[in-house]
Structure 1
Amino acid sequence: MPVSRSVLARWPPEASYSSTWSRTHSHVLGSYSPSRGMAARYAPPCRRAAVTAVTPCRGDPLLSAVSTTPSRVSDTHRPTGEDHMKGTMPTRRRRGWRAAAGVIVAGIVAASCGGDDSGSGGDTGTTADEQAISSTTLASDVEEVTTGGTVVVGLEADANTFLPGAGSTNTNVARAVFDSIAVRGADGEIHPHLAESIEANEGSTEWTVTLRDGITFHDGTPLDAEAVKRNFDEYLNTETSTVAGSITHVQEVRVDGPLTYTYVLSEPDAAFPDLLTGTIGYPFSNEACAAAGQDCGSQPVGAGPFRFVSWQRDSEIRLERNPDYWRTDANGVQLPYLDELIFRPIPDESSRIASVQSGDIQVGHTFRQSFVRQTEELEAEGEIQSLEGLGNNGGGGIFNVLVPPVDDVRVRQALVHATEQEDLIEVLGGAGITPPQTQFFSPNSPWYSAAVEEAYPAFDPARAEELLDEYINDPERSDGKAVGEPVSIRFQCPPDPSLLLLSQTVQAFWNGVGVEVELEQVEQPTLITNALGSADQDPPFSGTYMITCFRMGADQDPYTTLAPAFGPVATSSANVANYTSDNLDEQLQVLQTSSDFEERYAAVESMMMELAEQVPLMWAGGTATSLFATEDVRNLGGWTAGDGAQGDGVTGAVVYWAEVWRER
């Protein structure tokens, strides 16, 4: 059963959504090129209307802001039978992709396409391609699974640690070594995974978790309530933890029994279970970590389907099958299916794709638009398989608002006004496919705001020059330069060819309005370190950059996404921009405590409006993902939750590895 009393936002339309900034903080601005079929089915943005049952816009299944579990949702917020509809699987599959698909529970948010706001309009027809996407058949249901074998995975970048909360991990590796307390299903609900149940009290100030019995970590120690409490007290809830900013409202983790514990909160948090799907929900062995000491982060011991063997930094991460894994498939076959997983950092996009083509590796991923397009073309030629997706995730630049001159809003506004976003989309390979981005949510998301789109600075070089003139002639200008001297800025980005072209395009735009621009080419791991900063900085986690290219956004509940992204600078490394305000804090409080969609929508819109006006971020279009593989790798998206529910496929090119197998 789904988690009780959850008001988590659910937004999985036909294209998959990737979770980046709020979860791994490890992705640089990438490019995006969804499949031609996705482009062909693009529908106009939906307009918000009354809160009633709806018919969706074409290709736009809506989400529910309220749990649909009748026995556990209060009468005030329980949807009726009319509030449900079926949609398509969030991840696009082509050429008979052998992965899971599922149904999307739609919600109580009304919308309309084009015409009136009655909520009854829209084309509900289904193409043959869409019918294929909507299939609920798993590969393991129609083909005999082959157990054993090795899969080698090419990664965009290595991690700097595998200790949850200690730094920038790699989510694909983490999903193999660790299992999470909860996961998001294809129905959009949060489902217990390592947990047997997750329940809230009446005020959502206490969330009680009961763990499944008999689960052990890779070192044989039990996964119990005491282990989770120690994880929280000794590692996650510390000044140096990268997730500390997300859990400031957790007063304690109270052990109620051998397998039962409670998160006691200082204030209501209706979306709390969403946190348990990520880093905060990855239990690990305290005994193993204590024994490893400083090496704990390089020798992870979790409760996931694969256990750690070795890690040669920037070369190879080797994992082996966990023979004591707690799960079997529907036919009673012990999971995981594979004997071994090997992860190799291959930063060069072309090399990663070529390695899959040659069979040197079996799986790779890309977030770059031109390369997503390339994997699509290779799939059409029968050379590889590709699982593509697009979601609430965009590329762009982040301004470090603690560093002059971009600490001044006039300079930030000027730089955005000076930049033609359509041109950035074009140089990244997304022309004609990616609409411009103005906020954290895509035009088809129920959290999207047309008012924010209107408020975001449009391409206007004349206005940019006015703002810059005002700044440079200000005797109290923040950069300490003499009146009249030009603004000088630094822009960091990796040396990937597409990102180099992006950097040069941005430089040309900014040079055009009189700004001196120094381009800093840094490898992705360095960029991540520069952006996140460290605990020993003053203030902590303030970063060592001025402007950085980055990917921003996530497909979780808005609170889960936005709270770490704009949390206190000293405790939230995910606040890469170092931007906070009283209004953002106030609206985050609404998102944290309210279960009313209209209230939450107003809070999101207020936050997005402030960001559009203060521009700590500059958008450069959406970001699609491609998870590509050799033909013999099966079921990359066909995973299930611990309670048997269908998983939400491949979001952000992240795989749940337990049910992946290789045909031999």
Structure 2
Amino acid sequence: MRNSLYAALLLSVSALVALPAAAADLRIGLQDDPDVLDPDQSRSFVGRIVYTSLCDKLVDITPELEIVPQLATAWSWSQDGKVLTMDLREGVVFHDGTTFDAEAVKANIERSKMLPESRRKSEVKSIESVEVTGPYQVTMTLAQPDATLLAQLADRAGMMVSPTAAAAAGADFAAKPVCSGPFRFVERVQQDRIVLEKFADYWNADNIHFDKVSFLPIPDTTVRLANLRAGDLDMLERLAATDAASVKADDKLTYADAVSLGYQGITVNIGNGERGNTPIGNEAKLRQAFELTLDREAINQVVFEGAFAAGNQPFPPTSPWYDKSVPIPARDIAKAKELMKEVGVETLDVEVQVANNPVQTQMMQVVQSMASEAGINVKLKSTEFASLLADQSAGNFEMSQVGWSGRVDPDGNIHSFLTCKGGLNDGKYCSEEVDALLNKARTSNDLATRKASYDAAEKILSKDLPIIYLYHPTWIWALDKKIEGFVPYPDGMIRLENVRLAGQ
């Protein structure tokens, strides 16, 4: 009998030992559903969050905004600033088994420059040619010095996709993106989920501690937080500022934040198709009148409980790139009405599309109320975020409340949006003088020279107002207490290196 019991015990123990370890899955709540999952074609902030797990870049940044190696291990510039040589990491493969090497980098840069649908063209415009100077070395020759290039390569322009998959799929690459990041693509259900699983052959796999990551778009901030508290999410991005105190007081949750590099504003359709042919699209004075109805600090206090920073430029007032000679204008209803009369109107009807989440909707309702006091009747069109971006690209909008997550280099906050052929210039604003100034700022490594160019451009833009800037957010995350190792970054990305479940 004892022998039978002993044998049974041994069988039980061996069965227990044979069981696989429980899968470590991470569920992240996003404020929006990403747009197309192709680094060359996409433009949404939440898309970049997904890419951080899916697609490694040539270089990355630290929380202090220093450029550091990722797929490129070292780089050097020629004395004239027109040749960039990069040494590449060996032993890296894409998710389809294609080798990452110098030929792959060359193919990626050329795709960003040549793919008809690419939105990265202006970001890599300075690169005249890419030469393979060794199996794991590339040399980029520039048409002129480009102070912004490394910062561009720390973002979507530097994300490396499999040249094999890209060549086969063309513009349809986003249906099944293939990169070389810590997680590979599994599935996407629009408006529901994006699922990635750990890539076993990732070069830095030892520091990745989740088997699966699911990104779940939940636009309603209240619902997103409720899902976190109920255990249906493990973390969320963009916690509402009004919920910050509640999360800080919850011993089951962790609060994290970082000051953003970006902005939120209202883009005006000035020349993108028939819907740009409107009074506010044609008349800068009407855009000036609209701006004068705004009390930006009141918006910050009412909607964000003072957690964000009011702003009127692509850079926050605390940035060294901010032009202090163009301060945030005070609210002036009388002056707004005067400008409207100069154009020959007493009332003005405008339609502003806004993402269908409660925070942005509330903010625009405050703007709507403020504008009405000058006779500007704002009609709000609530739109799912990816559709909002598609409408902008197509010119199917009059005004659009939209933001930008910000970039390390100031060029990333302004050039693509406000140069005549900028890849993100949905309003189709065009000023040859602004183009010349912003292009000049790109070609100098002297900070004073660059600052002078940005200041001169801002003086024009503050009158033309193709984008009416509103505020600069603070990124806020909330996490289940069991998640350890998360580091907040000013770019708002969720980097999963060394992030793990407690006890792992």
TM-score, normalising length: structure 1: 0.68
Aligned to 2:177: 300
Query: Equivalents in 1 of 2:162, 2:97: separation in Å?
Result: 9
Deviations 1:302-348 (A, max 9, x none): 111111112222212111111111126xxxxx232211111111111
Map 1:456-535 to 2 at 5 A.
456-472=328-344, 486-531=347-392, 533-534=393-394
Paired letter, 2:368: Q
Aligned to 2:145: 268
| Structure 1 contact 322–336 (Cα < 8 Å) conserved | no
Aligned to 1:322: 199
* Pair 1:401 & 2:276 matched: no
* Pair 1:345 & 2:197 matched: no
| Structure 1 contact 249–267 (Cα < 8 Å) conserved | yes
Between the two proteins, the alignment pairs up a number of residues equal to 475
* Pair 1:605 & 2:477 matched: no
Aligned to 2:110: 233
Deviation at 1:603? 1.7
Query: Equivalents in 1 of 2:132, 2:71: separation in Å?
Result: 16
Paired letter, 1:173: V
* Pair 1:386 & 2:255 matched: yes
Give 1:424's match in structure 2, choosing from 299, 322, 328.
299
Deviation at 1:148? 5.7
SS of the residue aligned with 1:269?
coil
* Pair 1:653 & 2:492 matched: yes
Query: Equivalents in 1 of 2:81, 2:103: separation in Å?
Result: 22
Map 1:91-490 to 2 at 5 A.
149-168=24-43, 170-292=47-169, 295-327=172-204, 334-366=206-238, 371-402=240-271, 403=276, 404-407=278-281, 408-431=283-306, 433-453=307-327, 456-472=328-344, 486-490=347-351
Deviation at 1:419? 2.1
Aligned to 2:3: none
Deviation at 1:394? 2.8
Deviation at 1:175? 0.8
Deviation at 1:384? 0.9
Query: Equivalents in 2 of 1:498, 1:344: separation in Å?
Result: 18
SS of the residue aligned with 1:267?
coil
* Pair 1:564 & 2:455 matched: no
| Structure 2 contact 353–397 (Cα < 8 Å) conserved | yes
Give 2:446's match in structure 1, choosing from 589, 592, 596.
596
Paired letter, 1:463: K
Deviation at 1:236? 4.4
Query: Equivalents in 1 of 2:499, 2:460: separation in Å?
Result: 43
Deviation at 1:651? 2.6
Deviations 1:61-111 (A, max 9, x none): xxxxxxxxxxxxxxxxxxxxxxxxxxxxxxxxxxxxxxxxxxxxxxxxxxx
Query: Equivalents in 2 of 1:656, 1:434: separation in Å?
Result: 23
Aligned to 1:663: 502
* Pair 1:554 & 2:410 matched: no
Larger radius of gyration: 2
Give unmatched runs, 5+ long, in structure 1.
Answer: 1-145, 329-333, 473-483, 535-542, 638-648
Deviation at 1:150? 0.9
Aligned to 1:32: none
Distance 1:262 1:442, change over 3 A: same
Query: Equivalents in 2 of 1:188, 1:502: separation in Å?
Result: 30
Deviation at 1:294? 5.8
> C-alpha root-mean-square deviation of aligned residues, in Å?
2.2
TM-score, normalising length: structure 2: 0.88
SS of the residue aligned with 1:636?
coil
SS of the residue aligned with 1:464?
helix
Deviations 1:522-568 (A, max 9, x none): 1222212222x15xxxxxxxx32111111246141112332212233
Deviations 1:500-540 (A, max 9, x none): 33333322332322233322121222212222x15xxxxxx
State the percentage of identical aligned residues: 26
SS of the residue aligned with 2:260?
strand
| Structure 2 contact 193–217 (Cα < 8 Å) conserved | yes
Query: Equivalents in 1 of 2:477, 2:377: separation in Å?
Result: 39
Between the two structures, name the one with larger relative contact order (CA 8 Å, sep ≥ 6): 1
Query: Equivalents in 1 of 2:58, 2:336: separation in Å?
Result: 48
Paired letter, 1:449: D
Query: Equivalents in 2 of 1:470, 1:634: separation in Å?
Result: 59
Paired letter, 2:315: F
